[in-house]
Amino acid sequence: DSGVTQTPKHLITATGQRVTLRCSPRSGDLSVYWYQQSLDQGLQFLIHYYNGEERAKGNILERFSAQQFPDLHSELNLSSLELGDSALYFCASSARGAQRETQYFGPGTRLLVL
């Protein structure tokens, strides 16, 4: 158990819908990262938040957005869903987001868009 929690574990929805994925980092960690794992793209970095502020963006679609709240939990919002958004979405956390830090991953949320 990494200490990172993600809800829900599974999500099935239809094209055009909007969903919210939630992540709680390990106790004391200020940085939260989101990654997407899909069959065609592999594991890709989406976005990084540190202490409530966006630190970096990766290959994140404009239909996707995220935020980190004062209690440090984070939400990833996916809208206007398409079939190709079906994937496993991971959240990871680390202490501050600096180099020489280990990222600890949650169990993931598996999203299926029908």
Partner 1 sequence: AQSVTQPDIHITVSEGASLELRCNYSYGATPYLFWYVQSPGQGLQLLLKYFSGDTLVQGIKGFEAEFKRSQSSFNLRKPSVHWSDAAEYFCAVAFGGATNKLIFGTGTLLAVQP
Question: Which C-beta is closer to partner 1: that of 34 or that of 78?
Answer: 34
Determine which residue in the list 14, 28, 53, 100 makes contact with partner 1, applying CB under 8 A. Answer: 100
Residue 29: what are its φ and ψ, rounded to 5°? -80, 135
Question: Which C-beta is closer to partner 1: that of 25 or that of 48?
Answer: 48
> What gap in Å lies between CA 108 and CA 88, rounded to an integer?
6
> What gap in Å lies between CA 87 and CA 106, rounded to an integer?
15
DSSP designation for 91: E
Per-residue interface string for the shown chain with partner 1, residues 38-67, x marking contact by CB under 8 A: ----xxxx--x------xx-x---------
Tokens of 71: 């209690």
Asked if residue 96 lies in contact with residue 30, where contact means CB atoms within 8 angstroms, the answer is: yes
Per-residue interface string for the shown chain with partner 1, residues 22-41, x marking contact by CB under 8 A: ---------x-x-x------
The CB-of-16 to partner 1 minimum distance in angstroms stands at 28
Quick one: residue 27, left, alpha or beta (phi over 0 = left, psi -120 to 50 = alpha)?
beta
Question: Which C-beta is closer to partner 1: that of 64 or that of 90?
Answer: 90
Chain residues binding partner 1 by CB under 8 A are 2, 31, 33, 35, 42-45, 48, 55-56, 58, 90, 92, 94, 97-108
